[in-house]
Structure 1
Amino acid sequence: MPDNTSCHGDIFHSMTIEEIVAELSLEEKVSMMSGSGFYSIHAESKQWGAKPYPAGGANERLGIEGLKFSDGPRGVIVGHSTCFPCSMARGATFDRDLEWRVGEAMALEARAQGVNLLGQVCVNLLRHPGWGRAQETYGEDSYHLGEMGSALSQGTQHHNVISTVKHFALNSIENTRFNLDVRTDERTLREIYLPHFRKVIESGCLSVMSSYNKVNGTYCGQNRYLLTDILRNEWNFEGFVHSDWVLGVYSPHGAEAGLDIENPEPAWFGENLLNAVRNGEIPEEVVDTSVCRILGILKKIHMTDDPHKSYPADLVACSDHAILARTVAEQSAALLWNRDVLPFNKDKVHRVGVFGRLAALENTGDRGSSRVSPPHVITPLEGLEAYLGSENVTYAGDELDARAAGEAAAEFDAAIVIAGYTAVEEGEYIPSDINLGQEELPENLSSILDGARKRGQRNPIGGDRRSLSLPDDQIELIRRVASTNPRTIVILVAGSAVMVEEWIDIVPAAMQTFYAGMEGGAALPRLLFGDVSPSGRLPFTVAQDADHYPPFDISTHNIEYGYWHGYSLFDRDEHEPRFPFGHGLTYSEFRYSNIRAIRRDDGGLEVNATVENTGSWTAIDTPQLYICWPGQSAVRPRQSLRGFSRLRLAPGEKAETTFTVAPRDLAWFDPDARTWRIESGHHKIKVACSARDTASLETILDFEKEIDLGI
C-alpha cells in the first residue's frame, strides 16, 4: 500500500483552516464529524481492523483524505504487524526510552499501511486486577501511567501519526462498560483518575477517545464537564475528541459537550446532528469548532516534515522490530521469587520438561479490538526447543492429566510449567453473537473455549476475571510437577495480578511474563539460563487475600470509585501484600547511597542517589522515588510514586540517578477552593526498590509554606 496517510493536494498550503471551513457546506462539515465505511470493510474482511478505517475529517471535493484509524495497544492491528508485549508488560519495564522506541516502531508500521490515527495509548488506571482489559494499560499508579503513556505517544507522533489517549475517563470494568455509571468525588477524580491523562495531553498527544461508561450520571461521550470544562478550558487541549467505537455516542448533543467525531459510523452525528443544526437546536458554530479542530490536526501532521523520506511496506514486522519486541519481552519479565534455582546452570540442566497447555499456544492476549495478527508467534515451547535443541526439550504433559505430568516431571533436569490465562478468560468482552474474527482461534485455544462453555462460563470470550487465582486444574498441575522435580519453575501468563497462595511454598521460583508478544518464546530461555537478567517490576500490587482489593462487581451498573486503591489502600489498611508495587528480582544485588534532595526554583524537587551493583551479574536496576506526605491539610496516601529510572550496571559499577519532580506532582486538589496546593511541613523522600522496601534510602525536606498552584 502506498504511503498516503495525510492529505492530497495543496489545500493546507493555500488556505487557512478558517477559509477551508468557510468553503464547506453544512452537510460536508457534519459528514467530517463521523467515520464511514466501517461496516462494509468489516463485512468484507470478517475481522476487526484488517484495514484502516475512515474515521472522519475527509472531504473528497477538496481533496482532504482525512483520518485513517487503527487500534494499537500491542501494535498496529492492520495487516500482519509486529505484536509487541502487551501494555502491562511494557509498564513492567518502567522504561520510558524503551516505550518511546515501541511507539516509534508502531508509527513506522502505521505509516507503511496507510494509518495516520492510532488508538494505542491506553492509560486507564488499574483499580482492580480482575478488570478484563487490564493488559491494555500500564498499571495501578497514576504517575507511572502518565510517564509511560507520554513516552508512547511522543514516539508515535515523531513520525506524524496522531496518537489517541484513551479511554477518557474512569473506565476499568469491562462487562458492563456500555452502561456503567461511575460515581466519584472531585478529589478522587482529580488526584487519582485524571492526572495521567493530563500528563499525556501536555506531552503533546493530539487526540482523545472518550469512554463508553458514564461519570456521575452522564455518558463520557457527551460529558461537558470532562470534554470541555476540564479537557479544553483547564488543560488547554487543542486536538480533537473521538468516540469509542460502537455505542460511544447517545445524542447529537454530544457535539455541544465537546465530542468532535463519532465513530465508526454516524448513528447520531449524521442526519440527526444535521437536523438538530437546521432546526436551531444546536448552533452551527458547534460544528465549525469541531471541524476546525479536526482540520487543525490534519494540517499539523501534513505540514510537519517526516523524519523518513518514505515509509515502505517492508517496515512492517521487520527484523529490527522483531528484535525490539524480544528486547521488551526480556526486560518486562518480573522474577517474583527465586530460591537459588535460577538462572539455570547450562552444565547441569540439559533435559527440560515443559508442562501446561499454554506452553504450545500462540497466546499474545486479547482477541478483541487490540488483537494483532503478526507474521509469526514464538511459543514458550518453540523458544526452548530453538535454544536447547528439540532433542533436549520434551512437552511432557498438561492439566488434563496432572498425575501423569507429575510422574513424567521426575525424569528431567528441570521442569517448566506455563500457567495463566488466555483471551477466553480475560480481555475485551465479546458476546457470542458478535464476530470480531475471534472464531478463528488456534486449536488449543478452541479447546479451552469449549471447556469454558461446558462449565457454563457466562462470557466465553473475554470479559472481567471472576477469580484472581489460577484455575484449579493448573494449580493441581503445578503441585504434581513440583512434588517430583526440585527445579520446577512456573511462568505466569496474565494481564495483571495473579494470586499464588495455593502453591508459593512448593515452587522454588516463579516469573511473570504477561502476554509477551510474538517474540516472547525466544526471550524466555534467555531469561531462564541467564543470558539476560530479569528486570521487570510489577506495576501493581499482588495480594495475599483478594478481599484486600477494592470492591469489584463485574455485573454492576452503578459503582462508587473511592480515593483508595492499589498500594495506597494496602498502606492505609496495613495489609501485607504478597508482592508490593514495584517488586521484581534480578540475578544481582544493588545498594543505594548518598541521597540528596533540594527544592527547585519552580517549587518542584530534584533528588539524587547513587546506585551500586554489589552482585556478580550485569543487570538492570529500577530505583523508585516515593514521597511521604505530611497529610495535615488533607488526608493523603502514606506514600506516592513520583519518580523512577533504569540503570544497567556491571558488577561493582556505580552510577548516579536523578529524579525531577514537577510542582503539580507534589500537590493535592482542594475541591472547595478549586485549586492545587502543595502542603507545608515535613516531606519524607525515599529511594526504594519497591513500595514496601524496608531498606529504602530516606531523607527529609521541610516545605516552609503552602503553595497555591491554581487549576
Structure 2
Amino acid sequence: MQVTFAAPQQHPPPAQVERRVEALLAQLTLDEKLRMLSGDETGFASAGVPRLGIPALKMTDGPVGVRDGSTAANAYPVSVNLAATFDTDLAARFGVALGKDTQAKGKHVLLGPCVGIARFPLGGRNFECFGEDAFLSSRMAVSVIQGIQSRPVIATVKHFAVNDQEWRRNTYDVIVDDRALHETHLLPFEAAVKEGKALGLMTAYNVINGQQASENKLLLDILKKDWRFPGVVISDWTSVYSADTSANSGLDIEMPAPLWWGDRLRQAIADGKVSMAVIDDKIRRHLRVRLLAGVFDNPEPKLDESVVRSQAHRDVALEIALKSMVLLKNDGILPLKRDKLASVALIGPNAAVMRAGGGGSSGVPPWVSVSPLEGFKAAVGPRVTVTTAQGVSLDYLKAKPLSASFLRTPDGKTEGLLGEYFNNETWQGKPALVRVDEGVNFDWKGGSPAPAINADSFSVRWTGTFMPNETRVYRFLLSSDDASSLYIDGKLITSQNKQQQPGEMLMQAGKSYAVRLEYVEELGDAAMSLGAVNAGDNAKPPSIEEAVALAKQAEVVVLHVGNSSKQELEGEDLPGFELVNGQEQLVSAVLEANPNTIVVLYGGVPFYLKNWLPRARAVVAAMYPGQEGGAALASLLLGDRSFSGKLPISYIQSRDESPAFTGYMDPSRKVHYSEGVFVGYKYLDQHKVEPLFPFGHGLSYTTFKYSGM
C-alpha cells in the first residue's frame, strides 16, 4: 500500500543525525545522562538537558485519542473498530489526525498504537487492540504508525509482548514457544518496527518465559539485534523491577520516575554491574529519536487548538465509525424506511449517552459527543416520534457516604467502624493494621491505605453498628475497586464485583444493626465507598417496566446494550460473556413487548446472544464507535450508508471455545499458550468449532444471487 501524507515529516540524513548524536553525547555528564533515562517530575516526560539545548520528551496517552487531561480532545473509535474497517488507507488518515492532535497538545510522544493479539476473548483491554489476527494487526499498525510519524511525533507501539489479559498483569508468566512468539505475537511488533519505522516501543507488565517484560532478553536479542530497532524502549508505568538487570536487557526509559534508575542505577554503574557503554547506547537512542522526530526543532510543539476541533478530524472519526460497525443479523427490518417511520423507542443504558471508548489510560473525554438518541433525532427530524428509557444502568450510582454519627465501633464507644487491614486478599491471619475509620469513603488510586499495607493484594474488614435516625427502607450502595460485600445482622445485603446492585432493608429508628463490610483489592487502583439513601428518593435505579411500556407503544425499538468504561477497562478482565446489570432481563422483556427490535451491542468483546438472538430482528456490533458514533449509527440504520464492517474477532459463546481459559486465574500465575500459533479463528478451524459469528463476518444491504454453481 502506498499512502501519500499531507505535510510529511522530513527526517535528516542518517549520517548527519549520528554525527550530532556523538557530539552531544560527548558533552553530557553522568548526572545528566541519568536524568534523561527516567521520567521527570511531571511523570509524563523524559527529562531534557537545557544547557545543551536537549528538549524533554513530552508524552501522552494514547492509542485512540490524545489524552492529556483536557476535555478538548477527539475520542476516535477504538482500535477494534478501526480493525473492523479492514481499511489501511483509513488507518493512515487516522494516524495523521492523531499526530496532529498530539502536536496541538504540545507533546512529542504518543503512547500507541496497542498491537497485542486478542488471544483472551474477555481481555479488559481488547478494545485497544486490532483483534485476534496477527496479519490484520500488522497491517493496521503499520498504517497508523506511518500516519502518526508523518508529523513530528514519535509513535510508541505497545505492549511488548504477549500481553493479552489484565488479571495479575504485573506478575503472570506467559509460557510460549518460539514459533508462536514469532509467527503470531511478535509479528505486529516486527511490522511496526521494520515497515512502520516506529521510533518508540513500550514494554508490558507481565512476565515472559520467566523474565519480566521490562528486563527480557527479547528486547536485546530480537528487537535491537535482529530487527535493528533504532528507537527507545519505554517501560510501562511502574513496571521496572531492577536497576542493573533492566538496564543491561535493553530498556531505555523508566517511567514515570527514577524508582530504580536513579541512585540505584548510579550505584550499579559504580559497582561495575552496568557499563558506560550500555548507558551511552541508551543516550544515543534518546538523542537519535529526538533528532529524527524533529523534537530539537519543536521543543514546545504546538499546532493551533482549532486543529483538534476541526471538521476534518471529526470527519475521520465519523468515517471510522461508519465503516466499522458490523451488521451481525438482519431479518429484513433494516434499513428503516425514514418516510414511513412513525415512532421509534431508543431503549437501554447506552441509548442516551455515547459510549465512545472503554476505561483506563486510553480513555479520552471527548470535546464533542453525539449519542445514539441525539444522532437519531437529528436524522429523522420532528416528524418521527422518538422516545427513550434507560431500563437498567451501567453507571455506578452515587450516594452520600454514611456519616460517622450513625456508626459505632463494635464496643459501642467510638463513632465510626473498626477497620482491619490484611496484606492478603482473604482476611487471613493477623491484620497488619487496625484502626477506627470514621466512615468508608476512600480512593487510594494506585497507592495503599497506609505504609504498613500493600498497594495491591490486600483486604479490609470493617465492623461495627449502624443506628438509623428514621424508620424507613434504606438503599445501601457500594462503589469499589475491586470487590466488596455488605452484611447487616449477618445477612448479605449487597455486593459489588464489576456489577453494582443496590441492597435495601427496612430499618427502625434508634435500633442498632450489626454491620460487616468486606473489601478486596487485587491489582491496580483501589477505592471503597459505602453510602445509603432513602429508597424513595431520586437515586432509585431506572425501571425495566418503564422501558417495556415505551417498547409496546413504539413502531420500532432500537435497544442499546453492552458495556461501558465501567465494565470494560484497563486493570480488569470481563467476568463472562453475559450482558451485565440486568441487561439480559431487559433484552428479553423488550423483545417480548415488541418483536420489531434492533439490538445494538457496545463493547470490544463477544457477548452471549443465544438466549434471545432468534427473537431479535437485527443485531449490530457497534463496539466503541467514538464521539461521532450516534450520527454514524443513525446513518447506517436509515440506509444513508450501508454496513461494511467485518468482525476482527471470533464471536464465540462459551469458555469451551477458547484455550485461553485453560489455567486462567491459576494460583501459579503461569499462562501456557498451549494452542501455539492457532489463536482465535485458527483454533476454531483446527478443532472444527463453529462460532456464533466467525472472524470476518459482516452483512450489508446488498443482495447476492449465485447461479450456475
- TM category, shorter: 0.7 to 0.9
**Counterpart among 554, 561, 569 of residue 419 in structure 1:** 561
**Counterpart among 329, 336, 343 of residue 344 in structure 1:** 336
| Distance (Å, rounded) in 1 between the aligned partners of 2:242 and 2:295 | 35
> Which aligned pairs between 1:508-527 and structure 2 lie closer than 5 A?
508-527=617-636
| Distance (Å, rounded) in 1 between the aligned partners of 2:550 and 2:354 | 24
Residue aligning to 1:240: 232
Residue aligning to 1:16: 20
Q: Write out per-residue CA displacement over residues 248-294 of structure 1, whole angstroms, 9 at most, x where no aligned residue.
A: 44333211100011111111111111111122111111000000011
Q: Are residue 26 (structure 1) and residue 20 (structure 2) matched?
A: no
| TM-score, normalised relative to structure 1 | 0.72
| Distance (Å, rounded) in 1 between the aligned partners of 2:290 and 2:690 | 50
> Which aligned pairs between 1:292-307 and structure 2 lie closer than 5 A?
292-302=284-294
The answer to whether the 8 Å contact 1:378/1:521 transfers is yes
Residue aligning to 1:55: 46
Q: Are residue 573 (structure 1) and residue 565 (structure 2) matched?
A: no
Q: Write out per-residue CA displacement over residues 109-129 of structure 1, whole angstroms, 9 at most, x where no aligned residue.
A: 111121111012100000022
Q: Are residue 559 (structure 1) and residue 671 (structure 2) matched?
A: yes
Residue aligning to 1:270: 262
The 1:37–1:362 alpha-carbon spacing in structure 2 relative to 1, beyond 3 Å, is farther
The answer to whether the 8 Å contact 1:165/1:200 transfers is yes
Secondary structure of the residue aligned to 2:113 is strand
**Counterpart among 37, 54, 61 of residue 71 in structure 1:** 61
Residue aligning to 2:446: none
Deviation at 1:361, TM superposition (A): 2.5
The 1:485–1:336 alpha-carbon spacing in structure 2 relative to 1, beyond 3 Å, is same
Amino acid at match of 2:611: E
Q: Are residue 584 (structure 1) and residue 698 (structure 2) matched?
A: yes
15-24 or 385-394, larger mean C-alpha shift: 385-394
| Distance (Å, rounded) in 1 between the aligned partners of 2:309 and 2:704 | 36
> Which aligned pairs between 1:370-381 and structure 2 lie closer than 5 A?
370-381=362-373
Secondary structure of the residue aligned to 1:164 is strand
The 1:305–1:247 alpha-carbon spacing in structure 2 relative to 1, beyond 3 Å, is closer
Deviation at 1:317, TM superposition (A): 2.6
Deviation at 1:211, TM superposition (A): 0.5
| Distance (Å, rounded) in 2 between the aligned partners of 1:358 and 1:28 | 51
The 1:159–1:249 alpha-carbon spacing in structure 2 relative to 1, beyond 3 Å, is farther
Could you tell me which runs of 5 or more consecutive residues in structure 2 were left unpaired when the two chains were aligned.
1-8, 393-541
Deviation at 1:546, TM superposition (A): 3.0
**Counterpart among 116, 119, 128 of residue 127 in structure 1:** 119
Residue aligning to 1:334: 326
| Distance (Å, rounded) in 1 between the aligned partners of 2:638 and 2:165 | 38
The 1:111–1:96 alpha-carbon spacing in structure 2 relative to 1, beyond 3 Å, is same
Residue aligning to 1:497: 606
Secondary structure of the residue aligned to 2:568 is coil
| Distance (Å, rounded) in 1 between the aligned partners of 2:557 and 2:18 | 67
| Distance (Å, rounded) in 2 between the aligned partners of 1:370 and 1:141 | 21
Residue aligning to 1:211: 204
The answer to whether the 8 Å contact 1:74/1:84 transfers is yes
| Distance (Å, rounded) in 2 between the aligned partners of 1:107 and 1:420 | 31
Deviation at 1:239, TM superposition (A): 1.0
Secondary structure of the residue aligned to 1:419 is strand
Deviation at 1:366, TM superposition (A): 2.5
Residue aligning to 1:223: 216
Deviation at 1:350, TM superposition (A): 2.4
The 1:248–1:275 alpha-carbon spacing in structure 2 relative to 1, beyond 3 Å, is closer
The answer to whether the 8 Å contact 1:211/1:248 transfers is no
| Distance (Å, rounded) in 2 between the aligned partners of 1:487 and 1:245 | 48
Amino acid at match of 1:316: V
Deviation at 1:341, TM superposition (A): 0.6
Amino acid at match of 2:331: R
The 1:372–1:23 alpha-carbon spacing in structure 2 relative to 1, beyond 3 Å, is same
Root-mean-square deviation (Å): 2.4
Amino acid at match of 1:581: F
> Which aligned pairs between 1:348-427 and structure 2 lie closer than 5 A?
348-389=340-381, 392-399=385-392, 400-427=542-569
The 1:199–1:589 alpha-carbon spacing in structure 2 relative to 1, beyond 3 Å, is farther
Amino acid at match of 1:55: S
Secondary structure of the residue aligned to 1:331 is helix
**Counterpart among 175, 180, 184 of residue 167 in structure 2:** 175
Could you tell me which runs of 5 or more consecutive residues in structure 1 were left unpaired when the two chains were aligned.
40-52, 430-462, 594-694, 696-711
| Distance (Å, rounded) in 1 between the aligned partners of 2:240 and 2:162 | 14
Deviation at 1:15, TM superposition (A): 6.0
Amino acid at match of 1:504: L
The answer to whether the 8 Å contact 2:347/2:547 transfers is yes
Secondary structure of the residue aligned to 2:244 is coil
| Distance (Å, rounded) in 2 between the aligned partners of 1:304 and 1:142 | 35
Residue aligning to 1:677: none
> Which aligned pairs between 1:636-675 and structure 2 lie closer than 5 A?
none
| Distance (Å, rounded) in 2 between the aligned partners of 1:249 and 1:76 | 28
| Distance (Å, rounded) in 2 between the aligned partners of 1:166 and 1:86 | 15
| Distance (Å, rounded) in 2 between the aligned partners of 1:529 and 1:247 | 48
The 1:14–1:73 alpha-carbon spacing in structure 2 relative to 1, beyond 3 Å, is closer
The 1:186–1:15 alpha-carbon spacing in structure 2 relative to 1, beyond 3 Å, is closer
Amino acid at match of 2:683: L
| TM-score, normalised relative to structure 2 | 0.73
The 1:363–1:393 alpha-carbon spacing in structure 2 relative to 1, beyond 3 Å, is same
Secondary structure of the residue aligned to 1:516 is coil
| Higher RCO, 1 vs 2 (CA within 8 Å, ≥6 residues apart) | 2
**Counterpart among 234, 243, 253 of residue 245 in structure 2:** 253
Residue identity over aligned pairs, in percent, reads: 36
Amino acid at match of 2:681: Y
| Distance (Å, rounded) in 2 between the aligned partners of 1:378 and 1:503 | 28
550-559 or 25-34, larger mean C-alpha shift: 550-559
The 1:590–1:228 alpha-carbon spacing in structure 2 relative to 1, beyond 3 Å, is farther
| Distance (Å, rounded) in 1 between the aligned partners of 2:49 and 2:706 | 59
Deviation at 1:207, TM superposition (A): 1.1
Secondary structure of the residue aligned to 1:353 is strand
Amino acid at match of 1:291: I
Secondary structure of the residue aligned to 2:170 is coil
| Distance (Å, rounded) in 1 between the aligned partners of 2:39 and 2:706 | 53
Deviation at 1:486, TM superposition (A): 2.8
71-80 or 284-293, larger mean C-alpha shift: 71-80
Residue aligning to 2:615: 506
Deviation at 1:476, TM superposition (A): 1.6
The answer to whether the 8 Å contact 1:249/1:262 transfers is no
Residue aligning to 1:201: 193
| Distance (Å, rounded) in 2 between the aligned partners of 1:501 and 1:150 | 37
**Counterpart among 588, 595, 598 of residue 479 in structure 1:** 588
Deviation at 1:497, TM superposition (A): 1.6
Amino acid at match of 1:560: H
Residue aligning to 1:649: none
Amino acid at match of 2:344: V
| Distance (Å, rounded) in 1 between the aligned partners of 2:353 and 2:74 | 18
Q: Are residue 539 (structure 1) and residue 648 (structure 2) matched?
A: yes
